[in-house]
Each structure stands twice: as C-alpha cells, then as structure tokens.
Structure 1
Amino acid sequence: MWSFSRPEGVSVVRSTLRGWRRRALAVAAGAAVTATAMVAGVPSVAAQEFPAPDEIVSSSNMKQVAHLPPTAPLVGGTGTDIAFQGRYAFVGNYLGFTIYDIKNPKKTKIVSQVLCPGSQNDISVTGNLLFVSTDSRRSDDSCNSTSQNDGTKPYWEGMKIFDISDKSSPRYIKAVATDCGSHTHTLVPDKKGRSVYLYVSSYSPSASLSNCQPPHDKISIIEVPLRHPTQARIVAEPNLFPDGGNPGDGNPWPNGTSATTGCHDITVYAEKDLAAGACMGDGVLWDISDRTAPREIDRVQDDEHFAFWHSATFNNAGTKVIFTDELGGGGAATCNAEIGDERGADGIYDISGRGDNRKLNFKSYFKIDRYQTDDENCVAHNGSLIPVKGKDIMVQSWYMGGVQVWDFTDSSNPKRIGFWERGPAADPAEGGGSWSAYYYNGYIYSSDLGKGLDVLEINDPRTNKAKGVKMDELNVQTQGRYGR
C-alpha cells in the first residue's frame, strides 16, 4: 500500500454519463460492459472509450448516494481502511481517522476527526475501543510525533489504542511498540470474552533498522484486556515461517514474485478457529484454536500469477478463501491488455478435507472486465462479503478500477454483478481510487485514497436479500457467520 502528497483542496467530481457508458448502462442490470472487440472477456483498448477525468460511471444496478470529501485536519492524507459499529463508520487515514454517523447513509456526516499521523492507520473497533496501526518510523508514540526515517536512531512504530466511548471526542490511552511496526492488524476475540488479541502484520526487515532486523518471519500478538485496556501488551511473537517462506524469484516487477518476510494481512474466522494469511509470497491456512500459537494447516504459492499476496476473505461457510494479488504494490496500472486478466487478480481457493488434512485447492482467477488507462493504478484490493444466505458474493475495491460486486458461489466460474468507478483523476494529487469497499447494513462504503468517503447502493435481485441482515459491528478481517 502506498500514499500520495496532496495539496489543499478537492476537485469537483462530475457524474455525467457519456458515449459507450450510456450504451453500457442500457444493458440489463448488472451486465458486464460489452464492446465490439473482446480479449478474454474484457473490452479491448481499441474498442473501449474511457470515462473522462473524475467522471462517475457504473452499471445500472449501482449508484452513489453520498460523497464526503476530505476535510481539515486530514486534507492531504491518504484514506485507508474502514470499521463499523452501530450507527458509526470509522475510516483510517495516514494523518489520523474520522468517525462518521451513518444512521442515515444518504446523509452521512462527520462526528469527529483525530489528527494522529502514522501510516497506514489501519483500523478496527470493539466496544469502546479503537485500534490503529502505525507502520512508519515516528519520533515517539504521541499524536504530535514527527517522521524519524533514520532507523539507527530511536524511533517508535506499532499499535495505538483509543477510547471511543465519546464518539465526539476520542481519547488516546495506550501504545504498544512492535517489531517492524504494524502495517495491518486483525482483531481476534478470545474464547471467554475477557480480552481481544491483535495479530500485528508487518514485513520488509532491514539490517539498517534497529527494531526491524531480518529475518522477520513472525507476527506480534498483543493481548488487550477489555476492562483494563491500558494493560495491553505483547504476549507472543510466533514464527510463522520457520523455513523462511517463499524465497521469491529475484525478478523485478511486473514479473517478479515477492519473498516472504512476514505477512501483509490476516483474516480470522474465530468461530471456526481458522485464519487465512496473505503473506507476500505465500497464502496460508492456520488453526487458531490456541489464539497465541497459530498452527499451519496448509500453504500455497503461485509464482506464475501472484506477485504479492495481499489480503484474504473466507466465504460464509468457511469452505473457501479469496486471496488477492497486489501486483505493482497498488501504484501501477495493471488492469490493461499488457498485464491480462490473471495477474493482479483474485485467486479463488476451495478448502477440502478435515482437521489437519485440510487443503487449499485453486479453482480460478477473477479480475474486473474493464480496462483502465495507463494513468490509473488498478489491482485487486480490500473487500467484504455481501451477506446473501446460500451465496458467495463479494464487494471489492480495485483502486482506480473502482468498486466491483461479484459472485463466486461457483468457484470455477465467478460472475460479475455490478460496478461503480471514477475516470482518471483530474488532479493527479487526488488519485488513487478505492482502498476499501465494504458492505454494511444495506449500503456499500468506499474509502477513497484521495477523495474521501463514498456511499453506494446496489439494487439487484442477486444481492437484495442482504438488506435484511443487520450487524452491530463489523471488522472485515474478523469474520463472523451470518444467516444463522
């Protein structure tokens, strides 16, 4: 993941629908965009007209119902991940985080903003606690810290904890330093309801960094007592790759495969004692019945198609895992003819067998079916399930490829349902696109790297049943079962 330096101010977003997009929207609801020339189901560049800068285009079953641009003090930062609780959405930003009131999604409003710089500010919530990740070297653990890029001098990075009992005035209460910082983290409930664990994912050690020495094949596990959160501490640092993991192939982008030096992201299905790890060069399935000692069940690699295993999503039954490949690190144009439709994509894996004999079995790839321009970074990124009982349907961010809704009920034959996107950024400083797109209580919320928060609605027979599923809390990397 990556960031931009952005000036003050926000460009005006236009939502005119022109040319081929009008023709596309005339297609049946949710149908894929078609053109006169096709390559692997994707319109060829010669046949496709691209939307104008900042032009909003979509399938006929999706629309934007609200947009909140960045506001001070977070203007110029990079929008990141989202968590939900009751009537609130919590959105991370490289400069801090924002709490939104989404009781009426079409009239979403800001409740409070916290200035606390430290990329990425990946975010999760439980009860009255909010957790944010810091994966950049800071002068200290305060919200007034400055950048400290000399890794040989004292610096801090890791986890921060806030008390959000008063949503209008969050209170910073605790910091826990972790080796190599915290690029992302995953909230894992214990089995007694007394504590939560934070699985802290970080990577890319260097001999020049005093607190991030190689090898770094571990995660840090922080225990947070819910009644006494200021007693949070590291309780385990399990080595997940005693064999060193995927060594990588040493080739540069776009053909290279990353060496594993830790994990980028971990998703847990706590009820089933399972975790899926997207760990740079490896996709892993763990047993987490002992929360502080994940135990590997199976591991897969895909050196031909996957460059960087980025994130993971279980289906509702816990019988499948979607792994995403962040080819180009999120900063490259990979949704084009040169890259094709199998790299920078999702990999769909079925889980077969039982217990320690479970295996991850590759079934197919999925990628958006609309080429983007060479000025648009586009690759598979963060998404969540849309809770339709008996179906496996997902909404997902693709950076400047926009937001895609798709069905992987048939693992070997995923189907597109709908999309929403903007054209190339009129102001390059506001570029980046959708970082996370999650479904929560009837609406899709998309955190844009540069343009703020978008609230979207999908109306389609294949997804409408999800509107009856209400959740009290959602941390997407902490999956629970719906449709009981």
Structure 2
Amino acid sequence: MKRAGLMACLAMALCAAACSSGSGPSAAVPSSEAARASSGASGVAKRASADLGVDEVLHSDNITPIANVPLEAPFDGPHSWNTDLAFQGDYVFAGNYDGFTVHDISDPAHPKVVTRVLCPGGQNDVSVSGDLLIVSVDDPRADDRCESDSMAPSAKSGWEGIRIFDISDKAKPEYVAAVATECGSHTNVIVPGADPDTLYVYVSAGGPDPGAPNCPAPHDNISIVEVPVKNPKAAKVVATPALFKGRQGGGGYGGCHDITVYPAKKLAAAACYGDGYLIDISDPVKPVVLATESDRENFSLWHSATFNNDGTKVVFGDELGGGMVATCDSSGNDTKGANAVYEITPSRELVRHGYFKIPRVQSPEENCVAHNGALIPVPGRDIMVQAWYQGGVSVWDFTDSDHPVEIGFFERGPLRPGLRVGGSWSAYYYNGHIYSSDITKGLDVLRIDDPRTDPAKDVTVKEFNAQTQYPYRG
C-alpha cells in the first residue's frame, strides 16, 4: 500500500491503464499442473477459492493453521491495519498503522502478546537489529512524537521519517530517536556497516507530492541514515543518492518503494514503482546502479524484490492497483499483479524468465495482488512464501526460473460486505513456521509439512528481516 492522497490516485491510474491494456494468457481457469499444485500434497481440489464464505478458511493439505492472535485495543480502530514483520530470537515484531506489537513466539502454537506500543504513523513498517527497532512513518505528522496528529500531505509543515526504539526490554520498548527523511519513509532496510557499531538504513519513499514541503520534486533519490548502535540518538541522514535520475517509469513518479539488500554479495535489488534496479552496495553510503529493468507490458507498480539464496536470481513483484483492487479474479491474467523471475548474469545484468501468479481465482470483492514474501531456506532449491492480501499465503517454487509453480497455500474467504482491504500483508518463514501479518485478523501462525520444504526445519537464525538477506547453509 502507499501514501495517502497522491499515492492513492497513482494506484488507481496505474490499475486503470494496466487492466485495460495489454494481453496475456487467462488465469480464469488454472492449468491442470497449477490446479494440482494449488490443492497441496493430495492433488485433489477441495473447493473453489471464489466460493468461500465470509472468513471461511481454505488451505492445502501440506499447510496447517495452528494459531491466530487477533488485533485488540489499542489496535481496534477502523484503520488499525497490520503491516510488516521482523523477527529476533523468540519474538516477532508486527507493524501496525497505529504502532507495533511485540509477540512472544517461543511456543509457536501459543503465541503471546508481550506489549502493544501505540505510536501512529502509516505504515509503521519495521526492521530489527540487536537492541534497536527501526519504524517507518510515511504520512506527515504534526511532529515526531507518538502523540502527534496526522496532517494533510500539503500541510506547510510536518514530520515524517523513521523512529528508533530501544527494545532491550521487550515488554517496555523505549522511543529514543527520530530522523526526518525526504518524503517520509514508506519502507526501510538495514545495511550493516564495516564497523559493527554502525548501521545504515536505506529509506524508501515515493514522491514528489506537489505543494508538500517534505517531498519536493524531482525526488529521484533514497535517504541513507547512519545509526551509531551505541548512541542511536545521534542517528542522522548522511547521504541522499539520486539513483533514479532521469527515469521515465511510473508515470513520472519518483523515489522507490522497496529495496532488498544482500550484503554478502554487495548487491541490492530495488523495486521502484516503474522500474526494477540492481545496485552495487560495496560502499553502503555510495550505492551505484548496475542495471535497470522495465516491463511496461506486464508490470504496473514494481513493489518488492527477493534474491534467491545464491544471489543469482531476483523475484520482482507487481502491486497492480496498490493493494486496493481484485487482480486475482476471473478477469485477470498470469502477469498482471504477479511476480517475475529475473536471473542475474555474470556481468550483472537482469534477464527476465517466468511469471508466477496464484492459480486460485478469487472473488471480485477481494483485494488480491503480489505482496511481501521471502525465501524458505531450503538448500539447493528456490522456494518462497508470499502474501497476496485476500489471496492469502502462497508457497511457490521458482527453482525452474521459466516454470514456477505453487506448492501450498492458506487463505480466508472475503471480509464481511463493505470491507475491501484485508488479508495477508506479509508472510515469512522463520525457524520452522510461517508467520502471516493479516491486515485485519492479526498474526497467523502456519505449519508446512512437505518433503520439498522440510529441509528448512534444520535452518535456525537468530534475527530475520526479509529485506536484509543472508545466505543460509544446508
């Protein structure tokens, strides 16, 4: 999802253009291979996704829902929407438009709420590193306090950017710093510095916003914030590299939506509304664009990027309609609002291969499009779990770059009439389970049992941010 105002208008414009132009194979009737895959291990379809009743649950045989933590006060307002997730030890941090929640997942079947921190600011996407939680704020506030009021994007003054919390005491996070960034912070990603006492945060945001002092034209840059780990109050913007200068994509819209870094490869992949980028981050404060990729026929809103474990592929996702429309109904096709698999050549160029879109047709009332996901750590294979809003959670294999296929899923039926925004915002695999941040239903915990993904159960990590990738070993 995107900034209010101009961003919503952009989403509708992109959707209108994409849905009325171009052609592709119909996804109304999945192929026999896709239909078998979508039904899980048994290969027998249970019932059509589009026929589900309100909140009715459907899942493949190889995925079992084992827990749900519903949203509760103070996150019980009409727009108390859950957003992204970050993980550390026995805890998962769940962003919410009204703040964030700390969950204890030491027993995944019985997760517990440790605390809910009320600190409004869309989207409140989160990243974690050691004792620090980085939270993105992408709407203008009267000031940087949690108690501040939201302001119109065209207001003559206001604050937006990143907030930094000390989470050494998980039950009592302490708000320690705020850094204003150009056009705010839609998403953020942590990049380790050469010195372990220094973190860099790449801040992504769309823009410009006409008349908004925080977001001037041309906004062809990202903001890089330096965070001294031992003194986070001294965090500051140290660079604003114009990586996207002169680009034509995205209807003239600038900035970037999401960046994923792979420090071991000194690479970043950026999904930037109209284009995809491969970036050299050998010097974290001086990133250099290596390759730019566009797909005007099939992609409308480049939203996110995920490397495979070898760093030889990138999956780019298209958030056609900005998460607000039903791109998975019978009127869609296999490329709009889908993923594209790109291979990285030895010369660091991007070459497009296959597309993947969930093969389960959703009802016209369900917002559904490719959204946040990450790898399941299966040595030797490229398998990803991903959120699709009301399309649910999908597990898919792109080891064969030209023929990706779904191998498991979990979803609910539509929300009650009148509600059009819901479903899984983010879905990630962490130490043996899948965790899904559902916009209106809270935190879902899923177990996957499948010979194709079972090797991942032997991989344990101490900290996980989906947008900061590290290689795993079998």
Q: Same fold (TM over 0.5)?
A: yes
Question: 1:391, 1:409 within 8 Å by CA — same for their partners in 2?
Answer: yes
User: Amino acid of the residue matched to residue 316 of structure 1?
Assistant: N
318, 338, 353: which one aligns with 1:363: 353
Distance 1:403 1:430 in 2: 17
Q: Deviations over 1:38-78 (max 9, x none)?
A: xxxxx8xxxx7511110000111011100011011111201
Is it true that 1:296 corresponds to 2:308 in the alignment?
no
1:31–1:418 CA contact under 8 A, matched in 2: no
Is the 8 Å Cα contact of residues 304 and 317 (structure 2) preserved in structure 1? yes
C-alpha RMSD of matched pairs (Å): 2.0
Residue 303 of structure 1: SS of its match in structure 2?
coil
Q: Residue type matched to 1:364 in 2? A: G
Q: CA deviation at 1:27?
A: 5.9
Which of 436, 451, 455 pairs up with 1:461?
451
Whole-Å separation in 1 of the counterparts to 2:141 and 2:44 = 46
In structure 1, what is the Cα distance between the partners aligned to 2:470 and 2:397?
19
Give the aligned partner of residue 382 of structure 2: 392
| Aligned counterpart in structure 2 of residue 404 of structure 1, from 388, 391, 394 | 394
The match for 2:41 among 24, 29, 33 is 29
Q: CA deviation at 1:192?
A: 2.2
Map 1:112-127 onto structure 2 (within 5 A).
112-127=115-130
Q: CA offset at residue 327 of structure 1?
A: 0.3
In structure 1, what is the equivalent of residue 460 of structure 2? 470
Match of 1:478, SS state, is coil
- 1:156 maps to 2:159: yes
Q: Which residues of structure 1 form unaligned runs of 5+?
A: 5-22, 36-42, 249-257
Deviation, structure 1 residue 128: 0.5
Whole-Å Cα distance in 1 between the matches of residues 40 and 100 of structure 2? Answer: 39
Residue 429 of structure 1: how far off its partner (Å): 4.2
CA distance in 2, matches of 1:235, 1:30: 54
- 1:246 pairs with one of 220, 245, 248: 248
Output the amino acid matched with 1:413. H
* Matches for 1:18-57 after TM superposition, within 5 Å: 29=41, 31=43, 33=45, 50-57=51-58
Cα distance between partner residues in 2 of 1:330 and 1:161: 27
Structure 2 match to 1:167: 170
Retained in 1: the 8 A contact 2:323–2:367? yes
Residues 85 and 27 of structure 1: is their aligned pair in 2 closer, same or farther, counting only changes over 3 Å?
Answer: closer
Residues 24, 34 of structure 1: 8 Å contact kept? no
User: 2:31 — aligned with what?
Assistant: none
Which amino acid is 1:246 matched to?
Q
Give the distance between the partners of 1:260 and 1:303, measured in 2 at CA.
15
CA shift for structure 1 position 431: 4.2
The 3-state SS of whatever aligns with 2:206 is coil
1:426 Cα deviation (Å)? Answer: 2.3
**In the aligned structure 2, how far is the partner of 1:194 from the partner of 1:299?**
33
Tell me the equivalent position of 1:376. Answer: 366
Alignment of 1:30-429 (within 5 A): 31=43, 33=45, 50-76=51-77, 77-149=80-152, 151-243=154-246, 245-248=247-250, 258-353=251-346, 357-426=347-416, 428-429=418-419
What SS does the corresponding residue of 1:196 show, helix, strand or coil?
Answer: strand
SS class of match (1:106):
coil
1:61-111 deviation per Cα after TM superposition (whole angstroms, max 9, x unaligned): 011100011011111201000000000000000000000000000000000
Which has the higher relative contact order, 1 or 2, with Cα contacts under 8 A spaced 6 or more apart?
Answer: 2
1:423 positional shift:
0.4
For residues 82 and 26 of structure 1, what CA distance do their matches in structure 2 show?
Answer: 25
SS of structure 2 residue aligned to 1:230: helix
Distance 1:208 1:187, change over 3 A: same
Contact 2:50-2:361 within 8 A present in 1 as well: no
Offset at 1:3?
9.6
Aligned residues: 442
- Structure 1 stretch 186-195 or stretch 123-132: which is displaced more? 186-195
Matched, 1:438 2:428: yes
Distance of 2:416 and 2:55 partners within structure 1: 6
Deviations 1:384-433 (A, max 9, x none): 10000000000000000000000000101112110000000126448410
Which deviates more from structure 2 when the two are superposed, residues 145-154 or residues 172-181? 145-154
Q: What residue identity is the alignment partner of 1:206?
A: D
Q: Identity of paired residues, percent?
A: 53
* Maintained 8 Å contact 2:330/2:362: no
Bigger drift between 427-436 and 374-383 goes to: 427-436
Label 1:236 to 1:31 Cα distance change in 2 as closer, same or farther (>3 A): farther
